[in-house]
A and B are shown apart, each in its own frame.
Chain A
C-alpha cells in the first residue's frame, strides 16, 4: 500500500505537504521531527481523523493517541474486556501478562499511575489484533523495562507480518525500523485563509 503526496491540515492550515509513505507488511516506520512538526497530525490523518482524506481502512488499523482511552471508574479488567468486545476478540491472558497488568486487574483504572495507564492503553493496541498499529508517542511515561517490552512487541508484530508507524523522541532498539524525518514534508507556505485575508469582502 502506498500513500502519495498527502497534504495534512490542522484547522485548515496545511501542516504537511506531499507526504509519501509506503506501507507493507512487516514494516516499522518511526516518525521523527521536533515538537509541532506534524507527527500527530500525520498519524491522525492515517487513522481517518483528518479533514480531507479517508485514512486507512478502520478494519485494519488501531490508533493510540496521547490519551489512553480508559475509563477511570471501570477496573483494569473491565476496560480490557470492553475493548476486546469492541474489536470482537477474546481477551488473551498473555497480553495482560505482557503488560504486567495481572496484579492490577481488579483495580479501578482511575487509581493507576501514569505509566500503568499507558500500559493499559497499549494493551488495547495489542488485543485489537489490527494489522497496522498507529502509535503516537507510545513510550511517554513508560519506564525502561516497559519500553523494552513494547519494543519487543512491535518487533514481534512486524515479524508476524504486521506494520507499525510510530512517533517517538527517544531511540528505540528497532534496527529494522526505517526513520522518516517529517520536517522534509513541512508545508512551505502557511497559505493564508482566503476569508481572513479579505478575499471574500
Chain B
C-alpha cells in the first residue's frame, strides 16, 4: 500500500498531476470574494470561515475524478486489482494520497488566505483544526464517488452531483465549528473528526465493491 501512496503523491507533483490546480482554484476563489462582496471588513470577517470551507470543498471536488480515472484509462487499475493488494487497500491508499496532495495543502494555505478575508485572529487555530479534521472525510467520500463513476467518460459532472449531497454534513459541521460566535466549537470538531474516522473505516470496503463492479 505504501508504494501506491508514494507513487500517487509523485504523480500529483509531476506536470499535469493536478496538484497546482486545486491550490490555484482555492486561491482564485478566495481572492475573488472581497471583490465580489466589496471592501466591508466586518462582513468579510463574518463570512471568512464559511468561505474558506466552501473554497476548500469546491477545490477538492475539482480533483476527485483523477483519483481512479487515470489509472483506469492506462490499465493500471486492472493490474492493481489483480495484484496481491486487496481492492479496499488500494482505495485506502489512493484516498490517503488524495488527502496528502489536496486536503493537507488546502488546510495549510487556508491560513494566508484567511488573512485576505480578514479572518479574526482568534479563528485561525480553529480553521486549521477544523479543516484538518474534516478534509479526510472529503477525500474519502470523494473516493467513493470516483469509484462509482470510474468507467464513465467525462464523468466529472455525474461525480460532482453525486458527492454534493454527501458533502453537506461535512460542510455544515466544518463551517459551524469555525463560525464566528460558536459557543462550543469543540463538539463540532469532535463530530467532524468522528465523521472523518467513519469514512476512513467504511468507505474503502464500499468503494472496493463499486470498483469491482466497474472493472467487469
Query: Contact residues of A with B, CB < 8 Å?
Result: 47-51, 58-59, 61-74, 78, 82-83, 85-88, 121, 124, 128, 134
A67→B11 contact, CB < 8 A: no
Known A-B contacts A65-B75, A66-B75, A67-B75; the reply to A74 vs B10 at CB < 8 A is yes
Which residue of A66, A67, A87, A121 contacts B84 across the interface (Cβ within 8 Å)? A87
Mark each residue of chain B from 76 to 120: 1 if its CB lies under 8 Å from any CB of chain A, else 0.
101111111100000000000000000000000000000000000
B83→A71 contact, CB < 8 A: no
Known A-B contacts A69-B75, A69-B78, A73-B16; the reply to A59 vs B84 at CB < 8 A is yes
Q: 11 more A-B contacts (CB under 8 A) besides A69-B78, A73-B16, A74-B10?
A: A58-B84, A59-B84, A64-B79, A67-B78, A69-B74, A71-B74, A78-B7, A86-B4, A87-B83, A121-B75, A128-B83
18 pairs of residues in contact across A and B, judged by CB atoms under 8 Å = A48-B81, A63-B79, A68-B74, A69-B74, A69-B75, A71-B11, A71-B74, A73-B15, A73-B16, A74-B11, A78-B7, A82-B3, A85-B3, A86-B3, A86-B80, A86-B83, A86-B85, A124-B79
What CA separation (Å) do A61 and B78 show in the bound complex? Answer: 13
Chain A positions within 8 Å of B17 at CB level = 73
Chain B positions within 8 Å of A87 at CB level = 83-84
What CA separation (Å) do A200 and B121 show in the bound complex? Answer: 64
The minimal Cβ–Cβ distance linking A23 to chain B, given in whole angstroms, is: 16
How many positions in chain B have a CB within 8 Å of any CB in the partner chain? 24
B216 at interface (Cβ–Cβ under 8 A)?
Answer: yes
B10→A49 contact, CB < 8 A: no
Chain A positions within 8 Å of B2 at CB level = 85
The minimal Cβ–Cβ distance linking B19 to chain A, given in whole angstroms, is: 12
Known A-B contacts A69-B79, A82-B3; the reply to A51 vs B74 at CB < 8 A is no
Chain B positions within 8 Å of A47 at CB level = 78, 82
A78→B10 contact, CB < 8 A: yes
What CA separation (Å) do A44 and B2 show in the bound complex? Answer: 26
A68→B10 contact, CB < 8 A: no
Chain B positions within 8 Å of A49 at CB level = 78, 81-82, 215-216
**Minimum CB distance partner of B215 in chain A:** A49
The minimal Cβ–Cβ distance linking A124 to chain B, given in whole angstroms, is: 7
Mark each residue of chain B from 15 to 27: 1 if its CB lies under 8 Å from any CB of chain A, else 0.
1110000000000
B154 at interface (Cβ–Cβ under 8 A)?
Answer: no
A58→B82 contact, CB < 8 A: yes
The minimal Cβ–Cβ distance linking B45 to chain A, given in whole angstroms, is: 42
The minimal Cβ–Cβ distance linking A21 to chain B, given in whole angstroms, is: 17
A62→B82 contact, CB < 8 A: yes
What CA separation (Å) do A47 and B75 show in the bound complex? Answer: 14
What CA separation (Å) do A78 and B79 show in the bound complex? Answer: 16
A74→B75 contact, CB < 8 A: no
Chain B positions within 8 Å of A88 at CB level = 84
When A and B form their complex, which 3 residue pairs have the shortest distance between CB atoms, in order from nearest?
A67-B75, A85-B3, A69-B79
What CA separation (Å) do A69 and B7 show in the bound complex? Answer: 13
B74→A67 contact, CB < 8 A: yes
**Minimum CB distance partner of B86 in chain A:** A58
Interface centre among B2, B17, B84 (most CB of A within 10 A): B84
Chain A positions within 8 Å of B7 at CB level = 71, 74, 78, 82
What CA separation (Å) do A162 and B86 show in the bound complex? Answer: 23
**Minimum CB distance partner of A57 in chain B:** B84
The minimal Cβ–Cβ distance linking A84 to chain B, given in whole angstroms, is: 8
What CA separation (Å) do A68 and B79 show in the bound complex? Answer: 9
A48→B80 contact, CB < 8 A: no
The minimal Cβ–Cβ distance linking A60 to chain B, given in whole angstroms, is: 9
